[in-house]
Structure 1
Amino acid sequence: MLPCIPPRDETKAPKAKAPALSCDCHMHIFGPEADYPYSQQRGFTPPDASPQAYWRMADTLGFQRAVIVQASVYGWDNRRTVQAVEEFGRERARGIVMVNADVDRQTLSDLNDRGIRGTRFITTISGGPTIDNLPGVAAKIAEFGWHIEMYVPRNLWPELLPVVADLPVPVVFDHLGGLSAETDENDPDLLGILRLLESGKCWVKLCGYRASLTGHPYDDVTPLVTRYISTAPERCVWGTDWPHTTLADYMPDDGDLFDQFCGWTSDEAVRTRILVDNPAELYHFPPA
């Protein structure tokens, strides 16, 4: 299993705090393992990451809303994610779970009532659902206005992008679509993702550090991220990816990551759209 170091105990205060009602659109809650056991098929074992520890970090950044994303270590057991939404409170949190094609309507209805707004397909690490379930799951969640969040190896995009275009629900491309910082500006997978963003059907999460090839401070991801922002700022959201699982050496500081986000665009209206307005639309938060 992949090693994991814990998140930082202290977060550096960013140069500027986030605007009111900013939403961290990608983070996880883990443990305690005795109450929420991990899947035997997991690819890593994370340290505990509690709601209290998360909000200490988020308060430093100035974030008031969060999206709790089901991690592969829990497989189909969505209890920790659902409970975390309850602990956070539905006025400030939403959740993304994992469901299979055999999920029944009542289960989806119950999850929807508890603040869940989408399901995740993650095939980059053990424990996630397989791609062949994609059309079946999409057909079932469409009734509830959910979306699908996808984190898949980039070699799958030539086959999957036409499928994504035909799904009856929006798709969120996680972690910059799984593309690396060295992606050429005319790369066909990048161009295909950009077309789907421009169509208004899909979204992209600007969680950038995993795309870096040079490591901290992850400056090499800037051209790829700014390409997404300049093409479709109305389809971008941002997330910390706290507590930064599967990292074995350097643990990023979320204050630095937020400062990097602010450096990707000098337009405060665009920043507010990405941090506040887009998440409110995508995750169905109530208006201010």
Structure 2
Amino acid sequence: MPQKPKRFNAYQIDLHYLDTSTRNQTDAIMWDAAIVSELWAEIFTLAVEQRTRRYNDSWLMYLDYFEEDEHYIFGRFLSAEYGTTGELLHADQLTLRPNPKLVREGETEATYFLIKKVDGLLLLQSNIRLNRPRFEEYIETLGAEVIRRRNLTFIQICTLLENNFFESIRQLNTVHKIEIEVSKTEIAADENEAVRALQNDVEEISATDVKLEFEAKYQRSGLKGVLPLVKKYKDQQGVTKIVVRGKLAGAEKVIKLDDSQEQYRRRVEVDTNNQPMLTSVENVLKEVANQRRKLRE
């Protein structure tokens, strides 16, 4: 079978709950593979229409495959973009013909994921549409009953970063600007207030995303506030991009969160439509997860 390189991004799944062991209830984090297994199993028992999420009547996604064993949860989403039927162009002859696809039809795209039960490591195939916020929204929305029944407040998908991201920020001589991009997603009650406000603005102007920019008044002394700010927004639902702009040794320096994410490029077998083959992806992801150090000791 032919092979193609695919990229898989690494995340950590955190289960949030209210800790009532003290006088004041506080937010706490735990990991319980049984809860996550229960959540995915219940989602997969839903009819296809019920487990399908639609966006702007032009793109949809749904859980298409799910399995688990003693150590891993493995699944596949199918997604499709529809609403356009432009003419088809032949790559060699440069001839045009009508597209036989109907406006309400779309070509399927497979996106795979694997969860390591021992520590909550999530490996998610890179997909510009089916990204971390959409994945998180999907399980929180369709798994709402399990979240309530298990006394959780919410589930958070945390981006795992290489060490050089925050270290690169620390090394800057000055910081000029921090840019945070927010996309329109369903708003959770416990989200950051600024993110909620931005998402409301996005809705008002019928936009798809908006940028929040922080300008440094005192560029050198303002450095001490950069890391807490970035950490505060890093995994907020709806935040899709963080960029820090500054100077290092007199030269302009741009540090992007996406460039520092922990990710794995692996070659997997593909079919005639260049879609990854299920068994090949499963074997590759299990190998990666097995070799990676544990997230929680």
**Fold in common (TM above 0.5):** no
Say which structure is richer in strand: 2
Say which structure is richer in helix: 1
TM-score after normalising by structure 1: 0.32
